[in-house]
Chain A
Amino acid sequence: MTTSEGHPAKGVASVPSQAEDKAGRGVRTRERRFTLARQQRIWGWIFLSPWIIGFLAFTLFPMIVSLMFSFMHYDQTKPDEIGFLGWDHLFDNYIRLTTDPTVGQALSNTIRFGLVALPLSILVPLGLAALLNVKNLWGKRLLRTLFYMPYMVPVVSSVYIWNGFLNTQTGWLNRILESIGIPGPNWLYSVDWIYPALFIVGLWGVGNAMLTMLAGMQAVPTELYEAARVDGAGPVRAFWKITVPMISPVIFYNLILALIGIFRYFDIPYILTNGNGQPGGATNFYNIYFYKTTFKFFDLGYGAALAWVLFIIALIVTIAVFASARYWVYYAGDGR
């Protein structure tokens, strides 16, 4: 702190116009204030410029171009045929998409996966955070670190670790199940068990959500719990009636992140199966099909159409979640 106070002082000495300013004070006050506000605004735009440029160059412009691509025949393996589809065939890429059975499969896989993964990615961290927030628990800091740590593990490593751990014959999970008399399933190679396996692999990704929820819980005023206790509420009731509503903004934030995660779901199934969709096409998720279309078959026009359909779906779902927020998300200082 001492240095931060020292530097400006040094800076003052080197400002040459200081004497002039002193002399002019009181005479040109209004003008000065006007220019100061203007100057401040200009500086604001200067500091903002990296993001403005980045937003135009890497978000807005690509979005427009991507929309254009989706109305083009743009197959990089056939460079002679690249061009506008023509007004008669404007929606050819989108029509192809509705008749492509792989798109239907990829969408239904993503939805079926998401319908379970989304609640899990909220409930599991919520449960862990509630456990770590118990007043009588010893070793909270250590436990918090242990539960958060797998979140730091790179996806490539974590997929290989779980791949070995879930192996049907040699994996520890099946051998533990076997030792208590349950025949372990064929986790990674059976259509029925691959999603549960993916949910288990996904468990290592809850650290961040858990930590934010825990921080939210610690910020809940203790008077509320005392009041509830006086009113005769047990700990379970207090959790659902006080804790959960009080941290609902954090839950909402994590719900949005989890939703984006499902639309982007790629790394884990891709590394696990090298993108071949096994078993039985169950791991052919939307983003994997998009990746293959664009970067394996180099059909950028069709890929752009796939991306825009996903964008519209994501937009509708996100708007729906935001619209639902006012029914269940509770902001303590409502005025904000």
Chain B
Amino acid sequence: MATATRTRPAPYVNTAPYYFRQLRRFGLASSITLFAFILAIVYLLPFLYMTTTALKNDDQIRDLGVLPYTPAVYNPSFNYEGGSYPIYTVPINRQQLELAHVRQELPLNIFRDPANPEAGEIEWRGLLTPDLLVQNPVYEVPTSDGSVQPLVYMRSNDRRTQHFFLPIGADPENTTLIAYSGSLDDLNLVSATVYEVLTEEVGAAQLELVSAGIEVNYFIDPANPEAGEIEWVGALDSLEQVGYIIYEVPMPDGNVRNLALVQPGRQVSRFIDPAAPDAGLVEWEGNWRQLQQSDPVFDPTLENFATVWTGVNFPRLLFNTLSIALIGMTGTLLSSICVAYAFARFPIPGKNILFIVLIGTIILPRQVTLVPTYAFFSTIGWTGTWLPLLVPHFFANAYNVFLLRQYFMTLPRELDEAAMIDGAGPFRVLVSVIVPQSWPAIVAVALFHIVFAWNDYFEPLIYLLGSPELHPISIGIQQYNYVYDIRRNLIQASSLLGLAVPVVLFFLSQRFFMQGVRITGVEK
């Protein structure tokens, strides 16, 4: 700066005509604004991803489109000897064959009547659907502490490498599932699965499953129907029915035809006309990715939210989080206001040193105090309760004291002095003079605490281990997504539920947030 005086360049004076300057300023403003908004959209793009994914059903997820559109699909069928048979993709000899489904043979299941074991085996032919299930099987499972316990089988992960169990009689809503890695075949079966079925021999009864039958399905090959039926052992539900997405295909003659894409290709794609499936494949030159889907149906679903809502027991998580946040908020407000008042107004010897120590606690890594604090809380039996998450907040916290003290310092002392001359004690001055003038700072502290408590993950994780009925939203969602599903739509629905309250709170009370940030960040 000092050298600038010696070789000072010519002052920047704009000599352009007035209207030109105005135009230039307008152009500059609009291009900067455009840039800023594009940046904001990019920055917030993941929100759009979350929302649209949360609104998709399982089929739409597979389609990878941005919005929850269900494409129009043509399901081919095979007409043979007067019947019309749907076509499925069937894995036979490690090949995926497209075969027409002709008939199904229901599985033959063998049961035993626990009330009358001497009666022998009871046969029942039918599909064992979940609504018939009465009780899951019980296995002897080795647990992490080295013992072997009888546990109720709940579910497996998608690759069936991990299985989750519950203690017998435990409420599945409120108990953490116990994970076991390995094959179910290695475990000792204590009691079998119980189904309620209607048999000819004993009528409707709850029977123990001895062995589940296997469903057999019969197919014919549309290319060679004369070869006869092909047997396939397995559930029809596990197979995927062949379906082709219908596109709007511009033909060389200028017409646009709605054709179902059978063989996609970069240069040449082959289509079938749903209106005339027997006419054979239509060849089209061009990249199929540039084609528009024909009449996709915009079909968002709210079902994911309902699934997650009951799956995580959202009302309970919400209640827990709110309770932890509000009780902690009360504590931190009461204590921090008092402490900030002491720092702002009272002649305490060594006040400056104490204040530096207070601010210094911000820099102290939490880990240093965590181990003994945890050991202490665990010795007095507070782990597995909310107390470790609440009680420390009743003893003030550096950020809040700092924010409030900075605000109190800006208030004129004349008012407190006037009140004191009128005979008000220090407590009276705090309640009647300081607090009524400080609502913006107090509301900011309250909001910051609520957001902090809502987002806190680490402390609930360590203190509420094994007490899922006390979990806040953050832990509940994480456990749900870990134990249950890897379906993207459910995960995004859970994320949306998790962020809804703090984000809405922020939009409703922006002014206080901004003011609070400004006080803590800028003053000194």
Contact = CB atoms under 8 A, between A and B. Distances in A.
Interface residues of A, number: 109
A4 B436 contact: yes
Interface in B27-57: 28-30, 32-33, 35-37, 39-40, 43-47, 49-50, 53
Nearest to B26: A136
Contacts of A146: 40, 43-44
B518 A50 contact: no
A48 B348 contact: yes
Given A45-B348, A48-B343, A256-B363, A147 B40 contact: yes
Contact of B392 (A41, A58, A287): A58
A154 B372 contact: no
Contacts of B496: 157
Contact of B364 (A231, A232, A270, A311): A311
Interface in A71-94: none
Interface string A151-191: 01111111011111101001010010000000000000000
Given A50-B339, A211-B521, A304-B371, A149 B354 contact: no
Interface stretch (A10-18, A27-35, A101-109, A113-121): A10-18
Contact of A131 (B39, B364, B424): B39
Interface in B81-134: none
A271 B457 contact: yes
Nearest to B476: A156
Interface stretch (B7-15, B208-216, B271-279): B7-15
Contacts of A153: 499, 502-503
Contact of B346 (A44, A54, A264, A310): A44
A11 B395 CA distance: 29
B423 interface: yes
A18 to B, nearest CB: 6
A54 B394 CA distance: 8
B227 interface: no
A48 B436 contact: no
B60 interface: no
A208 interface: yes
Interface in A195-218: 203, 208, 211-213, 215-216
Given A69-B371, A336-B524, A155 B474 contact: yes
A264 B437 CA distance: 36
B45 A8 contact: no
A274 B457 CA distance: 13
Given A145-B510, A211-B518, A59 B454 contact: no
Interface in B335-352: 335, 338-339, 341-343, 345-349, 351
Contacts of A57: 395
Interface of B is mostly: helix
Contacts of B488: 164, 167, 170
Given A4-B436, A12-B423, A40-B347, A54 B395 contact: yes
Given A264-B367, A267-B457, 8 more contacts: A8-B422, A40-B346, A143-B36, A153-B502, A156-B474, A163-B491, A314-B365, A318-B363
22 contacts: A1-B436, A8-B422, A8-B429, A21-B423, A40-B426, A69-B375, A136-B28, A146-B44, A152-B451, A153-B502, A154-B499, A158-B499, A164-B492, A211-B518, A211-B521, A219-B522, A229-B12, A232-B11, A250-B522, A274-B482, A294-B374, A311-B365
Interface of B: 1, 4, 8-12, 25, 28-30, 32-33, 35-37, 39-40, 43-47, 49-50, 53, 64, 334-335, 338-339, 341-343, 345-349, 351, 354, 357-358, 361-376, 392, 394-396, 401, 415, 418-419, 422-424, 426-433, 436-437, 451, 454-455, 457-458, 462, 465, 473-475, 477-478, 481-482, 488, 491-492, 494-496, 498-499, 502-503, 505-507, 510, 513-514, 517-518, 520-522, 524
Interface of A: 1, 3-4, 7-9, 11-12, 15, 18, 21, 37, 40-41, 43-48, 50-51, 53-55, 57-59, 61-63, 65-66, 69, 131-132, 134, 136-139, 143-150, 152-158, 160-165, 167, 170, 172, 175, 203, 208, 211-213, 215-216, 219, 229-232, 234, 241, 249-250, 253-254, 256, 260, 263-264, 266-267, 270-271, 274, 287, 290-291, 294-295, 300, 303-304, 306-308, 310-311, 314, 318, 336
